[in-house]
Every structure is written in structure tokens, then in C-alpha cells.
Amino acid sequence: MPSPDPIVNIVGLSKTFGANTVLKDVGLTVHAGEVHGLLGENGSGKSTLIKVLAGFHEPDPGASLEIRGGDVPLPVPAGGFRDLGISFVHQDLALVPDLSVVENLRVGQVVAGSRPLISWRKEKRTARALFDRFGVTIDPEAPVSALSETERALVAILRAVDELGESRTLLVLDEPTVFLPREGTDLLFAVVREIVADGRAGVLFVSHDLDEVLEHTDRVTVLRDGASQGTHRTRDLTASSLIDLIVGRSLASADPRAAGPVRNFEDVAPLARVSALETATVDGVGFDVRPGEVVGLTGIAGSGYDDVLPALYGARAALGGHLTIGEDIVSLAAITPIDALARKAVYVPPDRKVEGSAPELTVAENVTLPLLGGRLVDPRALAGKAAALADRCDVRPRDPRAVYGALSGGNQQKALLGKWLQTDPTLVLLAEPTQGVDVGARARIFEMLRETASGGAGIVVASSDYEQLSVLCDRVLVFSHGQVVAELTGDHLSKHHISDSVLGMTRQEVKA
């Protein structure tokens, strides 16, 4: 139960970039012992608020911040958040994969030079005690690269808790679950509950996942266009009242039934065929994709489903197999992205920051890259195309000259998807297409994909978001141990059927 003891109190917070005020007189109170959700559409100002707490942004004059009842002068000085008992875990987790777990726990102190002599034996014991306290079984000596995504997130969170020690006030989790498989989030939230259990600290949890927020938070504050829509007790909210607060209107297409009747593609000739695909985690998988069809690939982490798309595009080398596309049969051990693009196959990777874009270029430059093709082009024509694309994909702000890396995460994703969909592709390969995307943008992305499919393209979506698969797909292939163990169609395309199948309760071929 949340205690009514406010540990962090922000009043009248505004932030202006140039002519754009992105936080408008926002207030936020977090209580000791509570998990407090911070929600809002992409670009609504969540990260900006967090960056003010982190001392990264200076707020406009007039804001005030109290920690445990004491006034804190703004701006927070760089690194000053630690003295305030605040710690942050961002999406990228900031772990060094080549170092061990215990080295990662101490890397900050080593780099800062505050602990010149470290007894690693003692540190391992301390790490074990930390993990035991939170019921986590992770080997402190294991390299971080050998951990699952869930274990990595747990290490990053417990490192943040450990760094604050007894003085901890607020742990800020900025979408830490966005790259996690579903089964990992329960474990993560058990740890989050334990962190607030002694009633000393609070957790501020940023997420776009409404189910997660409704299940795991005590209260939520919603931002819309930089203004607060109030703080609400989670138990007084439903998914649809929360959507109304976030988007400012009801969203019919968030309902899976809005996808329309499931279509049957059995008699349609395939436009692409994957045969005998072998990768480090995939063992002889084959499937067809027909024009207009959306095929989903899913499974638990390590089942192989997330290894298929990079192999089809040549982004990660396959050990064997073939892709038949149009008249061509291409070896998947040799395919390169250039081969794939030449056959109008495009790939949108899950990690848009690392693989998908050039963050230092403008939105216009990013979205028009695939149109250049080595030719001389008229910059004004490209700017026009970029503006039309931003309009179509609802990229905010609508300024093609904005630096791509300064867009909010969800707006980067919309721009990236639009960039490839405008090339009129034949085969669209998408990994987690709505990761980090708000409910409104998600509906827009679903519409864009449906339009692309109805234009005759085939779409393959690899995702661990069962609801997304149930809304988008005509057929879902469930992976286990590198093989397809179930094919779900028709009435079996519900979120619950997909989830049951992935969790091994329906391990037979299910046909509607």
C-alpha cells in the first residue's frame, strides 16, 4: 500500500526548447513505498521531466523541487541526483557486456576513481547478498553478455538500488521492460515491489504498456502535450479510461476486433518462401508468405523466433537455407542487405538507435535515404517527400529539419517505419514494430501496415507482444527450441491463445 508520505514533490515545472514549450506547469508527487507510473504519448514530455531530475536539462524559471520536505535548488547540478538519493535505469541499461556482473556493479566507482583498491572476492560476496535479498539467482562472476535480457535488466536495476544504499529516495525506471520478453516482466516487478516494500523509497516507472501499468503501479500521472492530466489511483482506472487520459479521445482501433475478420490465404500463391533456415538458434525452419498476408513469429527468448528476420535480410549470417522471392532463389548463408533490397525486401530492426538510423542527420535526411539510390536529386523535392511522409506517419514535431536523434523514441520509430514503407516493398520484415510506441501511434502504425499489406506486400512481424500479434496477423508461428511448434490461425489468433501456446500449454498444430 502506498504511504501518504511524499518523498519527491515537483511543482510548476516547465521546459522550453527554442520556441517549443514541452513541459507546461507540471506537478508530480511520489510517495514513499509506491510504484508510480508516468505515462503519455510519444513526445508528451516524460523523458524531459526525468532529464530535469537528472540535472541534464535546466527547467524554465519558476519550478520547485522538494525531496523529503526539503527544498532543492534547481537546476539539479550534474551528477547531483546521487546526493538526492535518486537513481536512473534507462532503456539501454548502460551495462558493459564484456565485463562480469560484479564488475558491472562496481564499474561506476572504478571509473570515478573513488575505489582504487577493490577486493573482488568481497565484492562477489556483497553481490550475492544483494541478489539473495531480492530473490534473484544470478552468478556474480558470469559475463553480462551471457545473461538473458531479463537478467541484464535486473542487474541494472539492482546496481541502481545498491549505489544509493540506505539513502535511497527514488528509483526512476525509464521503459526498462521495453526490450524484455513477457515472461521476464513478472520477475522484474517482483523485484520492484521488494524495492519499495520497506516504505523508504518510491519507484517512478515510465511505460507505454497499459497492462503492465494497470497491474503493477499504485498511482499514475499522465502527461499530454507537456501538460499533466492529473495523478490517479491505478485501481480507479481501466484500460479505456487510461487511453482517454493519454490520447484525449477514445481509440476504437486499440480493440483487437477492429482488425476485421481474419482472412484466409490458403489458396493464394506465395510471394516469398523461406526453406530450411538454419542459424545458431533456428533449426530447419520454413514458411510461406502470401501477398497481403501478415505472418507473426513468436516464442520465448532463445526459442529462435527473433533470429529469423535478420537472417532473411542478411543482417546476421545464417548457416543455411534459402529465400525464394519472385523468380529468385537466394542462399541465406550468402544473402546481404543489398541483395535483399534489390528484391524489395526491407527490414526494420528492433534497436532503431543502433541499426536503423543516422541520429545526427535531420528527419528529412533519414527518411529520404532509401530514395537516393546514388542518384543526384533535387533537395527541394526530397524535402517535400519528407514532409509528406512525416504527415502520413504522424511524426511529431512536423519539422523535417529537426535532428532525428532529438525526436522522442516513438516518433523515431514512426519515421523509421515510414521511411521503408514508402519504398513500395514486396516483403516487409519487422522486429517489434511498436516497441516504445504510445497507444495512439501504435494504432497509426497498425493502420500503415494494413494499408501496405492490402497493397499486395507480404509482412512478417517478429514480436513477443501477443496482443500486437493478435491484432495484426493473419497467421502466427510459435517457436520453441529453434523450430515452429504451432501455427495459429482463425479463432486461435487471440492474445490468450498465443500466450498459452508460447507457454507450452498448446503444443500441437492448431488450425482454425
Nearest CB to ligand ATP, comparing residues 390 and 407: 407
Compute the least distance from the CB of residue 37 to ligand ATP, in Å.
13
Compute the least distance from the CB of residue 84 to ligand ATP, in Å.
21
Compute the least distance from the CB of residue 400 to ligand ATP, in Å.
13
Compute the least distance from the CB of residue 40 to ligand ATP, in Å.
5
Nearest CB to ligand ATP, comparing residues 45 and 310: 45
Compute the least distance from the CB of residue 512 to ligand ATP, in Å.
36
Compute the least distance from the CB of residue 66 to ligand ATP, in Å.
22
- 499: CB partners within 8 A, 6+ apart: 182, 466
Q: Cα separation of 478 and 499, whole Å?
A: 10
Output phi, psi for 181, to 5 deg.
-65, 155
Helix axes 182-196, 149-164, angle to 10 degrees: 10
Output phi, psi for 128, to 5 deg.
-60, -45
Instruction: Show the cell assigned to 277.
Output: 533456415
75: preceding bond cis by omega (within 30 degrees): yes
- 397 DSSP assignment: S
- 288 DSSP assignment: E
Instruction: Show the cell assigned to 485.
Output: 511448434
Nearest CB to ligand ATP, comparing residues 30 and 300: 30
- Our separate counts of H helices and E strands in the chain read 15, 20
Distance of CA 381 to the CA centre of its chain: 33
Compute the least distance from the CB of residue 436 to ligand ATP, in Å.
6
Say if residues 479 and 293 touch (Cβ distance below 8 Å). Answer: no
Report the Cα–Cα distance between both ends of the chain, in Å, rounded: 45
Using CA atoms of 492, 493, 497, 501 in order, give the dihedral in degrees to the nearest 10: 90
Strand partners, 174: 206
Instruction: Show the cell assigned to 405.
Output: 536523434
Compute the least distance from the CB of residue 291 to ligand ATP, in Å.
33
Nearest CB to ligand ATP, comparing residues 6 and 397: 397
Using CA atoms of 87, 127, 104, 166 in order, give the dihedral in degrees to the nearest 10: 20
Nearest CB to ligand ATP, comparing residues 207 and 426: 207
Exposed, middle or buried: residue 129 (CB in 10 Å: 0-12, 13-18, 19+)? exposed
Compute the least distance from the CB of residue 174 to ligand ATP, in Å.
8
Q: Cα separation of 82 and 168, whole Å?
A: 9
Compute the least distance from the CB of residue 43 to ligand ATP, in Å.
4
Nearest CB to ligand ATP, comparing residues 39 and 188: 39
Compute the least distance from the CB of residue 410 to ligand ATP, in Å.
4
Say if residues 246 and 45 touch (Cβ distance below 8 Å). Answer: no
User: Contact residues for ligand ATP (CB under 6 A)?
Assistant: 17, 22, 40, 42-48, 397, 406-411, 438
**389-393 own/partner pairs: CB under 8 Å, 24+ apart:** 389/415, 389/418, 389/419, 389/422, 390/363, 390/415, 390/418, 392/418, 392/448, 393/417, 393/418, 393/444, 393/448
